[in-house]
Amino acid sequence: MSIRKDNDAHERARKLIVLGRSDELSVADERSSDERSTNAWLAAHLESCASCRVFAENAAETIRGLRAIPIAAERSLVSMTQMRVRQRALELQLQRERMWLVAISCTAVTFCGLLSTIALWRGFAWLGERAQLAPSVWQVGFLIFCVTPALVAGVLLLASGTHFDRHFDTNLADQIGSYRG
Amino acid sequence: MTEESTEIARGLRRRDPDLLDRLIEQYQHRLLRYLVYLTGRRELAEDLFQETWIRVLERGHQFNDKYTFSTWLFAVARNLAIDHMRRRQPASLDGLLNGGETSFDVPATGQASAFDTTLQHEQNEHISAGMQHLPAEYREALVLRFQEGMSLEEIASVANVPLGTVKSRIYRGLSALEPWLKGASL
């Protein structure tokens, strides 16, 4: 029982030495009163315990040694970092400006699209009325008119893709042929 | 302190390059020292140093002025170091130590003349050697505590671990370093 108590005392003393008494106490309000008694306890313990005294001296020396190791950033590293940061800041600024432009363009396109859809709808309705067509007929016409450009573009893109693939395959075949031959 | 943090937060939100220049100058040695100890390699630490400041620029709006700037800065650097190690090999911070090719080149190039006194020189070498054999978590805790002078709460915030873990890392780290002080080659 007594040995265990002694071990606890050494452990406590060493933790106080390493972590500092104010950090060892977690509740701020307790600090002022407990700090004094903890301090006194530690001083008394160190006076009576040679191994903890040696530990305290070694810990202080290690901490001094740790603080004494010089690691400094070189000037070139700092300048290079500052330059890279400025460059990146510029890129981000340009990117933000571009995003603004894209956002404005998108808004404008949406607005124009909305206006032209309304105008076209009315135009188709007027034409349907003039030609005495049933509403479903001119409405289908309107739909076809709207979808056709996208369909044509899609077909053209697909066709050009197929052409590109064929071209690529021919080139590849040529190359393989040249390696073989 | 809070006023300074608020000013920094405002500047970071604006991505003010002059403020960043000033911060790089101000924290250059502290950040590099932390990264050198964390990674164990100066070259890698220098790369991460640059990446950290770029990340600070990009994520500056996330800085909360309730905290000190250095705490946030070290947390950013730490996350980058961990990301780097994960990309190289899926491992924890321990990977920084057990990477095989790790050489702990703590003494700064061009700074060797600072070791004038033989005794001091030897002691520093012993401690550096001792640090090499410590797990990265312990090294980190020791550097933040004794070189950066951070409070235990701040270290817990940087390392994203409970306060008790920080205390135990510092205690164990310093205890493990003790034999090296006398030049033991463990």
B173 located within any domain: yes
Domain hosting B90: range is 2-181
Question: Which residues in chain B have Cβ-Cβ distances shorter than 8 Å to A58?
Answer: 178, 181
CB atoms < 10 A from the CB of A62, how many?
24
The two tokens of residue B110 are 């061009």
Q: DSSP character for B145?
A: I
Q: Which of A19, A66, A88 sits opposite B54 (nearest CB)?
A: A88
Q: Which of B25, B114, B147 sits opposite A67 (nearest CB)?
A: B147
B128 located within any domain: yes
**B112 has a chain A CB within 8 A of its CB:** no
Cβ B134 vs Cβ B177: under 8 Å:
yes
What is the DSSP secondary-structure string of B124-142? HHHHHHHHHTS-HHHHHHH
B19 located within any domain: yes
**Are A85 and B21 an interchain contact pair (Cβ–Cβ within 8 Å)?**
yes
CA–CA min distance B73, chain A (Å): 15
Say what percent of chain A tops pLDDT 70.
78
Query: How many structural domains does chain B have?
Result: 1
Helix (H) or strand (E) holding B184: none
Per-domain residue ranges of chain A: 2-68, 98-180
Can you tell me which residue has the tokens 């479903």? A136
Interface pTM (ipTM) of the complex?
0.75
Cβ B103 vs Cβ B131: under 8 Å:
no
Tell me the pLDDT tens digit for each residue of B54-104. 999 999 999 988 888 999 999 999 999 999 988 876 545 555 544 444 444
Q: How far apart are CA B148 and CA A82, in angstroms?
A: 23
Tell me the pLDDT tens digit for each residue of A39-63. 888 889 988 899 888 888 888 888 8
B186 located within any domain: no
Q: How far apart are CA A73 and CA A65, in angstroms?
A: 20
B47 located within any domain: yes
What is the DSSP secondary-structure string of B12-67? HHHT-HHHHHHHHHHHHHHHHHHHHHHHS-HHHHHHHHHHHHHHHHHHGGG--TTS
Tell me the pLDDT tens digit for each residue of A68-120. 777 888 899 999 999 999 999 999 999 989 999 999 999 999 999 999 999 99
Cβ B146 vs Cβ B28: under 8 Å:
no
Half-sphere exposure at residue A32, Cβ-oriented, CA atoms within 13 angstroms: 1
